[in-house]
Each structure stands twice: as structure tokens, then as C-alpha cells.
Amino acid sequence: MLETLKKIHIRIKEGMLKDMLLQTKWIYQYARRYWLAMIFYTVLGLFGTVVGLGSSLVSRDLVDIITGHQTGRLLQTFCAMVGLAVGNIIISQITNYASNWISLKVDAEIKSDIFSKMLVTDWESIANYHTGDLLTRWSSDASNISNGILSWIPNLIINVFKFISAFAVVCYNDITFAIFSFIGIPVSLLMSKTLMNRMVSNNQRSAAMNAKMSGFNQESFSNIQTIKAFDAISYYIKRLKNLQKDYISMRLDFQRMSMVTSVIMSLVGLLVSYSSYGWGIYRVWTGAISYGTMTLFLSLSGTLTGALNSLISMVPSAINLTTSAGRLMDILEMPQEDYSLDDAYSEFQKTYQSNGISLELSDISYSYQNSTTVFEHASLEAHPHEIIALVGPSGEGKTTMLRLILALLCPQSGNGTVSSEDSDGIHKLPLTASARKLFSYVPQGNTMTSGTIAENLRMVKPEATDDEIISALKAACAWDFVKLLPDGIYSEVRERGGGFSEGQAQRLSIARALLRHSPILLLDEATSALDVATERAVLKNIMKDDYPRTCIVTTHRPTVLGMCKRVYAIREKQCVILSAEEIEQLVRDF
Ligand SMILES: Nc1ncnc2c1ncn2[C@@H]1O[C@H](COP(=O)(O)OP(=O)(O)OP(=O)(O)O)[C@@H](O)[C@H]1O
């Protein structure tokens, strides 16, 4: 027996309650920023309770004056009652406004905070989550917290005060009525225990379902072309219907649970009010109390039951809130990227950019979290005024190498450095997330976003003039088609580069990278959709200016290898420099 109790104690200590405490602390760090507004809201709520009680007392007097139990000024009492009722309406509106204000502020703050933290989370860890799941956590879970944040301390204080003050008034007027305040408690407690268990699993089910729906919608809408091309419309409609079926069945499950709960709670409410009513009539009949006092009890029995139910319903709402906090904490507790060298890199860039910057990775080993080993003791270097090519069959690790260079991935062993040489010697910094200031990266695929061409390019240099944009477009061989567009650089680009061919979108992406004027340029199959002549022209333009750029390209096509200073092939998880003969062989075999 003792053993069992110990086990339960340990489970409570280590399990749900401990998690809930941590999650509550996490929520509190957002709530405390609005402590003044929360105090205002609490004071308003307390004031509203006092006005409500005052209104019940005045209505008691009014009834007693009318029924002749009390002598008093009817008109004044009536005016006081109306005044208090109007005051109640005004206070409740101000309270609503304050609660919305707090919710909106907290919502915006949590969302922007989580957004910025998600962006600095370790890339590989966050890439394991479906974007639909991330979106649901970021939007729905954050909203759950901001909407429910007031149900904590402020509503707890308000409802406790409401219950105690109403109870005190009841006791003062007729202590026998106090018993009715507690009739509902056992049932409400029982209900809340059942509710609590169901809610934990329902919340998790609901969050998982929402993430699934959001992921499906997002993927379907961004792949409409593929769905049509594969004649997969009916397949997708069927998938949606199945998801909807699951969703409806889950919602109806919830609905049934809340129906049962609310029927039981309403029955309890009826029981309380009818018993109060019956007891009230009896007390009036025996002459123990007046009609006015009975009216007071009837209205206070509602207040007491309401306050009690609100207090009890805080348990499931706390679960809802902490479940959401837990889901957000999962994301925020993932490892974060290291930006501690930001200042050092800014200084480094300012001082050495004009000399050009070299890049070196030595003895790098890297395996993805799923244990796919891509590199073992691989080394690579690139220097200013050089184009370095990375070649190799699909899936050998070219993109992975660029991710390592960009510090999106962190090698398990070996190290990366950037360096610059001047008359004082070689100046080095370790490769971390802060080094990204030095890079321009053109990834595979279409990375244009909706907006004008100019807006797309200014993403990397907001202060760029039109002339600078046009020069970048010229260097990327994109000006030829942009100048023919009726709105030139102010022509609209649709989502994912819609409205432009793959090759055009690639050239716009390259122009964007060039506009940034970074010392190191990384092109991941960035010229794959261009014809050979344009591809060569783009690379020539990139390297022809005096700017000491270091350029690394990954490619399947050996057409540009002749322009490269060194060609690395990824073989047996290493980067091997190809000889002139091997490069010639590659070109011949292509
Ligand atoms: N996020 C990831 N998680 C786990 N494994 C991955 C991930 N991305 C790539 N890989 C694996 O790492 C290996 C190298 O992939 P990578 O994308 O670097 O190849 P690549 O040479 O760029 O291919 P391609 O030429 O087709 O673009 C592959 O076996 C791939 O399955």
C-alpha cells in the first residue's frame, strides 16, 4: 500500500504536475509583462462583483418597500437599482475590452517571440517537423494561451472574491441558505475530474488533427499543378474527405462529452435554484425572512453557483493552456543556433571584405540525425577570385556540404573557418551561424516570393537603388527579359516565382544573391535550368568584376567545369580534387 502511494507520489512529482508547473512558469513570463493591465482587469472584476452584490441588496430593499416589509424611499431605491444595473453593464464592457486588449497584446507578443525563436532554432531539428504542424503550434497554440491567460490569477482572484462575498452576504441575511451554496460542489468536482482526464487526451488529439489538416491543405494548395498533371484530383478529394470524416468524428466526440457535462451541470443548477426557491418560500411562509430577502437569495444562489463553476472549470482550462504551452516549448527547447560571433563577423566583414575572404573546411565528418553518414574526414577550400565546383552523383552530399558551409548543419567532428589575408598575416574566424553575413546562397528550386521583382531583390538589401537592382539583373543575364516587361523591375512575381519560367526565376534568384554583394557566393544547381551559353555568361559576369568573390557551385553538368579553379568530386564521403584528365573525362562522358 505504502509502495503504491509512493509510486503515485513520484508520478505526480515527476509527471503531469511537474510538466504543468514548468508550462505555467513559461506562460507566466509572458503574462508578467502585462501585470499592470492585469491588475486593472482584476480590480475592475472585483469592483464589478461589489456592484453586482450592491445591486442584489438594493433589489431586496426595493421588493421589501413594495411589499411593505420596509419603509423607505421607493423612487431613490429604484434609481439606485437602475444606476447599479447600468454601472454593471459599463463595468462588464470595460472588463471585456481590457481582457481583449490583454489577449491581443499577449497573442502578438507570443507569436512574434516564437516566430523569431523558430527562425534561430537549429535547422535540422526544426526541419523534422511538418510545416503544417509548426504552423498549428505557432497560430492555434499561441492563441490558446493568449485567450486563456486571464483565466489564471485574475479570474481566480475575482471568482474567489465573488464566491466569498456572496457567501458572506447570504450568511449575514440567513445562515440557513448557506447550505445551498455547497449543494453543487460534489457533482461539479466529480465532473471536473472526468473532464480533466478526457481533456488531456482530447487536447492532444485535437492538436494532432489540426496539424494534419493544416499540413494537407498547405501541401495541396502549393501543389495544384502536380495534382492536376497526375490526374490525382479525385485522389486528393478522397483524402480530404477522409480527413474531414476523422475531424467530424473527433469534434462530435467532444460535442457529446460537452453535452453530457452541460446537461449534468444544468441539472445541478436547477436543483440548487429550485431548492433555494423552495426553502425561500418556506422561510417567507414561516415569517423568518421577507420577500426581498428571498429575491436576494435567489439572485445570489446564481452568483454562487456561477462563481463555483468558473473556479472548477479553471482546471480543464488550465490543462488546455498548459498543453498548448507544452507544444510550443517542444519547439523552443530545441537547440538554438550560435549567433554569439555576430559582432566579430560584422567587424571582420568591414575590415577584410575588400581583400576577399577564403573558406576552409577540414577533416569534417557529418551524419544526419537519422544516422545517414554523408561525410567522413572531408576537406575543402575556396579562395577569392576562384570558382570551385562540387560535382558528384545525386545524393552524394553536395547540398549537405553547402549546408555545412552555411552552418545550417554542425559537423560532429572537424572544423570550418573563414579567413582573410593582409600584410599583418592571416585572420580567421570559426564558421558559425554568424558567418552567414558573408554569404549569398542560391538554393535549388524556385525561391522567389510574391511581390514585385524589386521587392524580391530588396529582401537582401532593402536600401538598394533601382540602378543597383538593374546592374544585378544584368550580371545575372536577367535584364534581357525584365526590361521587356511592361512594369520592368516593378512587375509582379507570383508565389514561388509564378509567371516566370524556371530559368528566368533562377536568374532572378542569382540577381538577388549578387545584389547582396557578399564575399562568398554559393550556387546550388542554380544554373541547372539555363542553356549552356547563358550559364557560362552568368558565371563569367559573376567573376569578371574586380570584386574578390569566392564562388562555390554544385553541379551535375560539367559544362562549366572549365571555368573552375578546382573541381571537387564527392567520393566515399570525402571531397576529392579531380585532375585535368578526370575533368576532361567527365565532360566527355556527359
Ligand atoms: N534532412 C535530411 N535528413 C536526413 N538525411 C538527409 C537529409 N537531407 C539529405 N539527406 C541524405 O543525405 C545524403 C546527401 O544528400 P544531398 O541532398 O546532400 O545530396 P546531393 O548530392 O545534393 O543530391 P542532389 O544532386 O540530388 O541534389 C542523401 O543520402 C540524402 O538522403
Element (H, E) at 376: strand 373-382
Question: Which tens digits make up the pLDDT trace of 175-192?
Answer: 777 776 666 667 666 666
Q: List strand residue ranges (DSSP E) for 423-503, in order.
A: 425-430, 439-442, 451-452, 492-493
Say how far residue 545 (Cα) sits from the centre of its chain. Answer: 43
Can you tell me which atom of ligand 1 is nearest the CA of 556? 25
Cα of 370 from ligand 1 centre, angstroms: 12
Ligand 1 within 6 A of CB of 393: no
Distance 114 CA to ligand 1 centre (A): 28
User: pLDDT per residue over 552-583, tens digit each?
Assistant: 988 877 777 777 888 898 888 888 888 888 87
**Residue 412, pLDDT score:** 92
Report which protein residue has its CA nearest ligand 1's atom 31: 395
HSE-CB at 76 with a 13 A cutoff on CA atoms is 3
CA distances from 270 to 162, 284, 305 (A): 20, 21, 10
Q: Distance between CA 347 and CA 343 in Å, rounded?
A: 6
* Tens-digit pLDDT profile for residues 58-107: 888 888 888 776 666 778 878 888 888 888 888 888 888 888 888 888 88
Domain ranges of the chain: 27-332, 344-589
The closest-lying atom of ligand 1 relative to the alpha carbon of residue 370 is 4
What would the pLDDT profile of 303-342 be if each residue is shown by its tens digit?
Answer: 887 887 777 777 767 777 888 888 888 888 888 898 999 9
Q: Check pocket membership of 234 for ligand 1, CB cut-off 6 A.
A: no
Residue 397 CB–ligand 1 contact under 6 Å: yes
Type and span of the H or E element at 389: strand 386-391
Average pLDDT over residues 204-230: 81
Which residue type does 408 have?
A: L
Dist. CA 314–CA 300, nearest whole Å: 21
Q: Which CATH architecture has domain 27-332?
A: Up-down Bundle (1.20)
What is the band of 4 on the pLDDT scale with cuts at 50, 70, 90?
very low
pLDDT of residue 367: 93
- Higher-scoring residue by pLDDT: 424, 200: 424
Q: What is the mean pLDDT of residues 162-170?
A: 87
Tell me the average pLDDT across 119-123. 89
Instruction: Kindly state the cell numbers that stand for 560.
Output: 562549366
Q: State the ipTM, two decimals.
A: 0.96
Architecture per CATH, 344-589: 3-Layer(aba) Sandwich (3.40)
Cα 333 to Cα 450: distance, rounded to the nearest angstrom: 32
Q: What is the pLDDT of residues 247-291, one digit of tens each?
A: 888 888 877 877 777 777 777 777 777 887 788 888 888 888 888
